[in-house]
Every structure is written in C-alpha cells, then in structure tokens.
C-alpha cells in the first residue's frame, strides 16, 4: 500500500498531484492557500442522524459545503401509492418522528380537502391541542439538541428530555404509542380523549411555563450561549422567502408568515396568539423565536383546553373502509413545528392514491445550508445545522 492510499480523498486535486509530482506533500509552508476537504458524517453525533456534509475549508473558514443525504431513503412516496389512503397514515408518523401528530394532521387535512369531508368541532379542538403539545415537544428538544451541539454537554438536553417524556406520556395514554401515534383519521380523530386525559393535559400546560422560566434562566442570557450563537449563520429575509424556508427559521429572519394565521386552518382563528419574529436571522434568533413560540403555544393550549366542546370525535358519515375519493387532486399544508408540512395527493378514483407527495419542511430548509455556513468555522456549522432543526426521517423519506 502506498502512502497516497492513506491520504484523504480530494488530496489528489492538489497542485503537486496535478503537476505529476509525488502525492506525498511535505509539512511546511507550501500548505498555504491549499483547500482542505473534510467529510463530516454520515456517522457524526452533530448531524442529528445519518447526514453528511462535505466541507471545503480554507484555513478554518468554510468556503464550500455540500450536504449529502438519502441514507434513510425508503421511497416513502412509492409506498404511499401502494397502500390505501388510510394505510399511509401510520407511515406519516415515521417522517418527522418527533412530531407524528402534526404529520398525521397534515395528511388528514390534505385527504379531507380531496374528499370534501367535514371535521367535528371537538376533533378540531383535539387536533389543535395535540399540535401545540407537539410544538412544545419539538421546540424543547431542539433547544436541548442545540445546546448539546454548542458543547454544553448533558444538562440542557436532559432537562429537555424530562419535559418531553411528560408529553410523550400524554400521547401514549391517548393513542397507545409514545412517538408513532397514528391518531388522526379522515374526518376526525381515532379516540375521544377522556376528561382525565384533558385534566392531565391541563396540569402539564399549567406547569410548562415554570419549566420554560427555569430553562431560560439557564440559557437565554447565558454569556457563552450568546457568544457562540449571536451573529452566526445569518439568513436574510429575501433569501429565506425565495428559498422556501418556512417555520421558525423564516420568522427568525423577520418574515411574518405563520400558516396558523395565513391559512387559518382548523379552529386557529378562534384563539388569540402572537407570532414571534426575529431581527437578525442568526442562530440565537432561531433559538429565541422557538422559545417565544412555546409561550404562545401554552396560551393556545390554555384557550383550547378551556373551550373544548363536547360532541362526536369523528364525522359519523366518514368512511374508513372502502374509502375512495373522487378523481382530482389537492394540496394541503399546515404549520408543523419545523415549518410548512404539506401533502399533495392525486386521486384517480381508486382506493390508493395515484400520486402521494410529501413536502417535508426540513428537506426544503436544508437548501440554504451552504449559504448559512460560508465564512464560518466547522464548529459553527454544527450549531447552524442544529438551528435548522432537521429530522432525517423526513429529509430522506
């Protein structure tokens, strides 16, 4: 084996190699001006799954970054064409496995648009409650992961996971599963939450503000967190809109665009809540927007739990077996915790969809990863990726 076999890939592009000289480079000043290619991932704890970034460095600064993914690809959309409409519902849990409830809702909404079904009022309230709990869960986890990426090892993540487990307990007692809930149905929800469950959700909501206070006291004004995150990975509002960035990332860049307000789906118009916006579009703003969104989620939860009406949980006319929507197409989208999650369905009148497309928010949000990282160090690229909030189950589909 020659020494050149041991060199990292990309080293054969060096000027020496091009000149036909020996590929073993001496360690001296000739390195100046050379670019170094580093492959981060696919097995790297900071990549939140199986994700790879091919980073080209000039000294310590990133001059090029190419994301590589697809390691978790199972052609989810093809699977969706092979099963019935309802059969895809459990698969949607596996997209963004932190927020299965909102995935379910987005899919149910798209099918309801396609078939023109009506959802009873109680089910709409339950959906809002579950979506906001999911938002709390997702943003809490994100804050924990982000601090872990900053190098704050252990404590913030464990605090976050302690709270997450309480929400997962609620999901488990309602749907039977912690993470793969498979709870929504076309025209309603699968199980009616009992009054005990609603009381437990109320108790969790009442206590969540105190947890956020504690968490923020640790992190929001923390000097190290501010030094690491402020001014890092800035995203301009015009690029964010043009690149289809959605969710908290878009709002951290100062664009007032929340589908709960814009599309006013479900019963969201009945609730009072504000849309937090950032000023600078950096990692700190993305963290801050999510924390403020959690406070608004608590307010929505209080209103929804206080005003939930009694009544049926499913549309009595809804048909689960032998469900065949008429030919046509529909695109339905909701504001998931990570951004706009949409489903595009084409029906040809058969029991299976002719085309089943998932518009995954983290997939589209990754488009501008290179723009965010240019000029920063590798250590910053780690927290920038953390602030984008990706889940590879959804990126790779």
Partner 1 sequence: METAEQIRDRLLVRFPGADIAIVANPSPSAQTSLLLPAPHARDIAGWLRDERSLQLDSCSNVTGIDWPDKEVVDTVRTTVADPAGGPAKIVEQKTKRIQPGCLEVVYHLYSVALKHGPVILRLRTGNRSDAVSLPSLTPVWRSCEFQEREVYDLFGVIFDGHPDLRRILMWDGFQGHPMRRDYVEPDDYEWEPTPHGEVLEKAKKHYPTIAPPAAADVVVHNGGAPNP
- 279's CB contacts (< 8 A; 6+ apart) are 254, 285
175 lies in the binding site for partner 1 (CB under 8 A) = no
Q: Looking at 242, 309, 320, 350, which residue binds partner 1 (CB under 8 A)? A: 242
Interface with partner 1 (CB under 8 A), residue from 254, 331, 351, 379: 331
The vertex-41 CA angle with 38 and 46, nearest 5°, equals: 110
- Return the range that interacts with partner 1 (CB under 8 A); candidates 107-115, 175-183, 272-280, 309-317: 107-115
CA distance 95 to 108: 15
Q: Is the dihedral of CA 224, 228, 229, 230 positive or negative?
A: positive
Per CB under 8 A, the list member of 53, 141, 330, 334 interacting with partner 1 is 330
Candidates 62, 95, 114, 382; binder of partner 1 (CB under 8 A) is: 114
Q: Provide the greatest CA pair distance for the chain.
A: 80
Q: Is 265 in the site for partner 1 (CB under 8 A)?
A: no
Measured CA to CA, the distance from residue 108 to residue 341 in angstroms comes to 12
- Tokens 């549309």, residue? 315
Site string for partner 1, 360-379 (x = CB under 8 A): ---xx-xxx-----------
Residue (191 or 241) nearer to partner 1, CB: 241
Taking contact as CB under 8 A, which single stretch among the options 113-121, 174-182, 225-233, 378-386 is the one that binds partner 1?
Answer: 113-121
For residues 314-335, b (16+ Cβ closer than 10 Å) or e, as one string?
Answer: bbeebeeeebebeeebbebbbb
Q: Which is nearer to partner 1, 203 or 326 (CB)?
A: 326
241 is a contact residue toward partner 1 (CB under 8 A): yes
CA pseudo-torsion sign 248, 250, 253, 258:
negative
Give me the residues that bind partner 1 (CB under 8 A), please. 69-70, 73, 75, 77-78, 113-116, 239, 241-246, 255, 257, 262, 325-333, 340, 342, 344, 346-347, 355, 357, 359, 363-364, 366-368, 396-397
């Amino acid at each position: 084996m020659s020494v050149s076999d041991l060199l990292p890939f990309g080293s054969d592009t060096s000027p020496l190699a091009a000149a036909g000289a020996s590929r073993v480079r001496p360690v001296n000043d000739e390195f100046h001006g050379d670019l170094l290619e580093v492959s981060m991932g696919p097995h790297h704890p900071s990549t939140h799954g199986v994700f790879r970034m091919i980073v080209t460095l000039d000294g310590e600064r990133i001059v090029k970054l190419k994301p590589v993914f697809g390691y978790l690809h199972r052609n989810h959309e093809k699977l969706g064409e092979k099963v019935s409409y309802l059969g895809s519902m459990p698969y949607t849990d596996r997209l963004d496995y932190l927020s299965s409830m909102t995935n379910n809702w987005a899919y149910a909404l798209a099918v309801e648009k396609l078939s023109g079904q009506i959802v009873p009022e109680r089910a709409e309230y339950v959906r809002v409650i579950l979506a906001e709990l999911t938002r709390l869960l997702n943003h809490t986890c994100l804050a924990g992961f982000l601090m872990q990426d900053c190098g704050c090892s252990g404590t913030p993540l464990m605090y976050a996971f302690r709270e997450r487990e309480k929400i997962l307990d609620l999901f488990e007692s309602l749907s039977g599963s912690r993470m793969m809930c498979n709870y929504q149905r076309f025209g309603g929800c699968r199980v009616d939450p009992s009054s005990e469950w609603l009381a437990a959700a109320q108790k969790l909501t009442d206590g969540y503000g105190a947890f956020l206070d504690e968490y923020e006291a640790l992190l929001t004004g923390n000097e190290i967190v501010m030094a690491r995150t402020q001014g890092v990975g800035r995203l301009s509002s015009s690029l964010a809109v043009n690149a289809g960035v959605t969710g908290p990332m878009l709002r951290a860049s100062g664009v007032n665009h929340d589908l709960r307000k814009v599309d006013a789906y479900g019963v969201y118009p009945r609730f009072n809540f504000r849309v937090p916006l950032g000023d600078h579009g950096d990692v700190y703003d993305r963290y801050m927007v999510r924390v403020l969104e959690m406070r608004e989620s608590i307010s929505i939860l209080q209103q929804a739990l206080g005003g939930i009406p009694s009544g049926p949980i499913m549309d009595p006319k809804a048909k689960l077996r032998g469900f065949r929507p008429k030919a046509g197409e529909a695109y339905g989208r909701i504001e998931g915790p990570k951004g706009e999650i949409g489903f595009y369905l084409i029906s040809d009148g058969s029991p299976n969809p002719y085309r089943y497309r998932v518009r995954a928010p983290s997939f589209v949000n990754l488009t501008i990863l290179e723009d965010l990282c240019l000029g920063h160090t590798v250590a910053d690229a780690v927290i920038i990726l953390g602030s984008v909030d990706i889940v590879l189950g959804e990126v790779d589909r």
